[in-house]
Amino acid sequence: MKKIDITAVSFLNTLPFIYGIKNSGFLKNFKLQLEVPSICADHAINNIPDIALVPIGDFMQLDNYQLLNDYCLGTTNIVRSVLLLSNQPIEKIKTIYLDSDSRTSNRLIKILILKYWEIKVEYKQNEEFDNNRFSAKISIGDKAFNERKKFQYSYDLAEYWYKLTCLPFVFAVWVYKTNTKKSIISNFSKSLCFGIENIDNLIKKLKLNEKYTEIDVYTYLHENMNYIFDKEKHKAFNLYLLLLNDNAI
């Protein structure tokens, strides 16, 4: 029997899902691959996994996949791990270096610059980052917690999206190939639910991991992250895609 091929994001914020997939017992025969968001998207764009957690900035490029409407990687306001970092206030920034790990966040900052801050900046790739006084950078995922300490100013992109739209934000959604058996998707959804309901058990394990000792994991997973793909998040998801299309971002 062919294994279910699952691709998911490799960051701390996805671990409740990973915990459910691995520990719920609902999935018996699967292969799980963890990657940074942009690689997850590339795999799905190339039609590789059966099920994938895909950043919403790449959703419209997918073919032969359906949206799982139950769960997502989201936040209701402040997320703490998707940041614009600078040593100058936003109105003085001239150049923003984008993060190659996340095209969704790169497109989000362009929306916010255009629609919320209404300033003109130049965009470059983060690998070339020049830390001069008028430069800023996008930092996402686990590394954002430490990089934030190195800069005087930190702008949480989800917080400013909320200020712009009065909506939560969705970073990534689960998708599955259209020919996937309904029983598999049902069990997969149950495994995600199990992970969300057992976040405290996950946190107990994470406290033993030196990688997360400097992060307030409890607050991050319980308060900053929100995994239910509810009506408001569906609105936010659709609005983000609309803004990308209307502004050719």
Q: What is the pLDDT of residue 160?
A: 98
C-alpha span between 59 and 11 (Å, rounded): 19
Q: Which domains does the chain have, with CATH numbers?
A: 4-74+169-230 (3.40.190.10), 82-165 (3.40.190.10)
Q: Is 77 helix (H, G, I), strand (E, B) or coil?
A: coil
> Which residues, 6 or more positions from 77, have their beta carbon under 8 angstroms from its beta carbon?
158, 159, 162, 168
C-alpha span between 61 and 140 (Å, rounded): 22
Q: What is the pLDDT of residue 1?
A: 65
Q: What is the mean pLDDT of each run of 10 residues along the chain (249 residues)?
A: 92 98 95 96 97 97 95 97 96 95 96 97 83 90 94 97 98 97 96 98 88 92 98 98 92
Q: What is the pLDDT of residue 113?
A: 98
C-alpha span between 95 and 85 (Å, rounded): 11
Q: What is the pLDDT of residue 133?
A: 82
Q: Which residues pair with 177 in a beta bridge?
A: 65
Q: What is the pLDDT of residue 119?
A: 95
230-241 core/surface letters (b: 16 or more CB in 10 A; e: else): eebbbebbebbe
Q: Angle at which helices 103-112 and 231-246 pack, to 10 degrees? A: 80
C-alpha span between 25 and 7 (Å, rounded): 18
C-alpha span between 87 and 226 (Å, rounded): 30
> Which residues, 6 or more positions from 46, have their beta carbon under 8 angstroms from its beta carbon?
none
C-alpha span between 28 and 26 (Å, rounded): 6
State pTM to two decimals. Answer: 0.94
> Which residues, 6 or more positions from 220, have their beta carbon under 8 angstroms from its beta carbon?
12, 13, 80, 81
Q: What is the pLDDT of residue 225?
A: 98
Q: What is the pLDDT of residue 31?
A: 96
Q: What is the pLDDT of residue 107?
A: 97
